[in-house]
Amino acid sequence: MAALRNRQRPALYDSRMYVIGTAGHVDHGKSTLIRSLSGIDPDRLHEEKERGMTIELGFAWLGLPSGLEVSIVDVPGHERFIKNMLMGAGGVDLAMLIVAADEGVMPQTREHLAILDLLRIERGIAVITKVDLVEEEWLELVVADVEEALESYSLAGSKVVAVSAEKDIGLDQLIHDLDEELANVPPRPDLGRPRLPVDRSFTMSGFGAVVTGTLSGGILRTGQQVNLVPSGRQARIRGLQSHKEAVEEAMPGSRVAVNLSGIERHEIERGDVLVTGRWLKSSTAFDCSIRTINDSPRPIRHNHRVTLYTGTSETPAVVRLLDQNALPPGESGWAQIRLDTPVPVVKGDYFVIRDTVTTLGGGQALAPNAPRPRRFHEPTAQRLASLESGAESEILIAALDSLGPAAVAELAPAANLSEARTAAILDELLNRNEVVAIGEKSALEYFSATGWAKVVATASNDLAEYHRTYPLREGMPREELRNRLNMNAAEFNPALARLVADRVLSEGQVSVRLPAHSAKLSPTQQRRADEYLALLASNLYSPPSDATIDQELLQALAAQGRVVRVSEDVVFLKSAYEEMAEKVVQLAKQHGEVTISHVREAFSTSRKYTLALLEHMDRQQITRRSGDNRVLR
C-alpha cells in the first residue's frame, strides 16, 4: 500500500501546493506514519535513526487521489528540540496532531496544540497511532481524551482518525480525510514578493550552496537575482527543485530547494530569508498583538526577557506591554517586541515566545520597523486594532499613520497586500479624501488625511511663530522647515509643492512664508534704515564699517535687495556693489586677470574694502583666486 501512496505524481495533477505539518509528543509515531504514507523516511540524521527520535526537521511528500501533491514537514516532539518544531510549524496549511493510542494526550501534545493555536493553524486532523496495541474500549477513551484536548485550541472540532502504520489500518481513510480538508484550503496568494525562510542549508558536490524552505508571497524562477536578509548577501538562482523534481518556477505554498550561485554555504544561516528585490527589511522592534497561553505557568510581564521564534529564526527579545503591566494566562493585549538582533518580519507573521524551557505565548506582527510607542495611549491601541482586524482600507490608513509618506512599493508589504491591490485601494481612498497624494503621477507618495493635516498644522504653526520672532525676515529658510517637518529631500520637495498649491504657504527663492506675511518696517525702523542707507551712500566705495544697525534690520534690507553684505563688517549699497562687480569683470577681461591694485585704483578705496569685495565675488563664483590675483571663472 505504501508504494501506491508514494511519490508518483497523480495523473490528474493539481498545481496548488500545500504543506502538512506534524505535531505531537515524542515517540508517538510521527515519522513512522509519514514513512507509511509516503514511502519516504523523514529522519535524515544517523543519530535520529540510532535513537529512533526526530531531532531536526524532516521532509517528505505525498500525492493525494484528487491530484493534489502535498509536502509533509515532520517536526521533533521532544521538549529539548521544541525550537526545531517551532521552525517547522511556520507555513503549514494543515496540521496532523499525532497521539499514540497506548499513551494518550501527553504534556508535549498540549504544548504543540498551544503552538499551533498561536500560529493560527486552524485546519487539522488528529491522528491516533498504534491502535493495534490497544483494546477497543481503551481506544474509545483515548479518542474522547483527544477531542477534549482539542476543544480549547484552534483545531477544535477536527476529525479524529485511528490508524496503525505498522498494520496498515486506517491509512486510506486518513488520506481521504487529508484530501477532503485540503480541497477547501485556498491557495497561497501571489503578492509579487517571494519570500523563503531558510530552514536548511547545505552544499551539494558539483552544485554548491542549497537552501530549503516553504515559499510564500510570490513565485521564484531560475536565473533570478536574490538577496538574503538580514545579511544583505546577493546570489543568483541556479536551479529549483520541488519534491526532488527540477522546476523552472516555484509557486507560493510549495516546499522548495534552491541552488544558489555566487554565495558559499557558510555565508547562509537558518533564519535567513531569501527574497527578490529590496522590499524586506530587518526589524529591531515591531508592534504586535500578543496572547499568553492558557496553560502558561506565569504571566507575560512588561519588559519580560524571552526567546522569540518567527519564521525559521530564533532570537532573544524583550516584550514591552503597551496597555497592561502584566498579561495573565489566557489574556491578550498590545505589545512591542524589541529584538537583540534584527530579524526580517512582515506584517501578519505569527510568532511564539518562550522563557527558559516554557512556551509563554505568542501573537501576530502588525507593524515592523516600529518606533518606540507610548504606553497606555489610546490612539496607539486604535491603530494596532485597525492593523490587526480592520478592512484593507483601514489597514492601509493605519500603515500610513505609522510610516508617514510612503509610495505603493513601500505600503504594499507594510499592509501585506499586492502592489496592484494597494494602488486600487489608494485610488478609492483618494476619491473619499481619506488620503492625500503628493509628487508626480509616476512617483506618487501618500499621506493619510490625518497625517497630512499634521503636516499642514506643523508648517502653519511653525511659520506663524517664526514670523512673530523674526518679523523683518521674508520667511523661514526652506531647509529649516524641512527639518521641522522631519522629512528627507525626496519627501519634502513634493510636499512643499502641494503646500504651495493649496496656498498653505508661499515660496521665495530660499525661504517660505505664510501667504499673509510681509516684512514691513515700523516707522522707527524705517527711519533708522534711511539713516543707515544715507551713511552708505555718503562714501559708496568705502562705506563706514562702524555704523551700528540692528542685525535683523540689516538682514531685512539685504532681503529687499537694497544692500549687499560682503563681509562681517563691510556692507555696500546694492547699486554700488553691482557697479564695482561689473568693473572687476571688465578689468579681468581687459588684463586677463585683476589685481588688488587694479580695484583700489579704480574706486580710490582701501585694501580692506577691495579684499572684502573680491572674496565675496569668489564665493559667488564670479571670480577665482589665482595667487594674489583673480581671474574670471
**Residue 15's pLDDT band (cuts 50, 70, 90):** low
Percent of the chain with pLDDT over 90: 68
Cell for 595? 589685481
Q: Which long-range contacts (CB under 8 A, 24 or more apart) does 354-358 make?
A: 354/82, 354/306, 354/307, 354/309, 355/304, 355/305, 355/306, 355/307, 357/79, 357/82, 358/296, 358/297, 358/298
Comparing 89 with 238, the larger pLDDT belongs to 238
**Is the predicted pLDDT of residue 554 greater than 70, yes or no?**
yes
pLDDT class of 86 with cuts at 50, 70, 90:
low
Range in 50-64, 248-262, 424-438, 459-473 with the lowest mean pLDDT: 50-64
Percent of the chain past pLDDT 70, that is, above it, reads 93
Q: Looking at residues 318-334, what average pLDDT do you find?
A: 97
Q: What is the mean pLDDT of residues 555-567?
A: 87
Distance of alpha carbon 507 from alpha carbon 509, whole angstroms: 7
Q: Could you check whether the bond before residue 544 is cis, i.e. omega within 30 degrees of 0?
A: no
Give me the pLDDT at residue 90, please.
55
Provide the 8-state DSSP code for 585: H
Q: Report the alpha-carbon distance of residue 22 to residue 515 in Å, rounded.
A: 68
Does residue 432 carry a pLDDT above 70?
yes
pLDDT of 127 > 50? The answer is yes
- Distance CA(55)–CA(308), nearest Å, equals 20
Residue 261's alpha-carbon distances to 235, 258, 287, in angstroms, are 6, 10, 36
Dihedrals phi, psi of 222, to nearest 5 degrees? -60, 145
Q: How confident is the model at residue 7 (pLDDT cuts 50, 70, 90)?
A: very low
Q: What sign for the dihedral angle of Cα 236, 239, 240, 241?
A: negative
**DSSP-assigned letter for residue 80:** G
- Predicted confidence at residue 6, as pLDDT, reads 47
Return the residue matching grid coordinates 487539522: 124
Type of residue at 115: I
Structural domains of the chain in order of their starting residue, each with its CATH number: 2-183 (3.40.50.300), 195-275 (2.40.30.10), 282-379 (2.40.30.10), 390-520 (1.10.10.10), 529-632 (1.10.10.10)
Question: What pLDDT band is residue 506 in, cutting at 50, 70 and 90?
Answer: very high
Q: Where are the beta strands (DSSP E) in 276-427?
A: 282-292, 300-301, 304-310, 313-321, 326-327, 332-344, 350-355, 358-367
Residue 3, pLDDT above cutoff 50:
no
Burial class (CB in 10 A: 0-12, 13-18, 19+), 211: buried
What's the rounded Cα separation, in Å, for the pair 183 and 407?
37
CA distances from 468 to 474, 494, 570 (A): 12, 27, 29
Asked if residue 79 has pLDDT above 80, the reply is no
pLDDT tens by residue, 90-126 = 578 999 999 999 999 998 899 889 988 998 989 999 9
The mean pLDDT of 220-229, rounded to a whole number, is 97
pTM of the entire predicted model: 0.78
Mean pLDDT, the chain, whole residue set:
89
The answer to whether residues 297 and 382 touch, using CB atoms and an 8 Å cutoff, is no
> Read out DSSP for 131-188?
GGGS-HHHHHHHHHHHHHHHTTSTTTT-EEEE-BTTTTBSHHHHHHHHHHHHHTSPPP
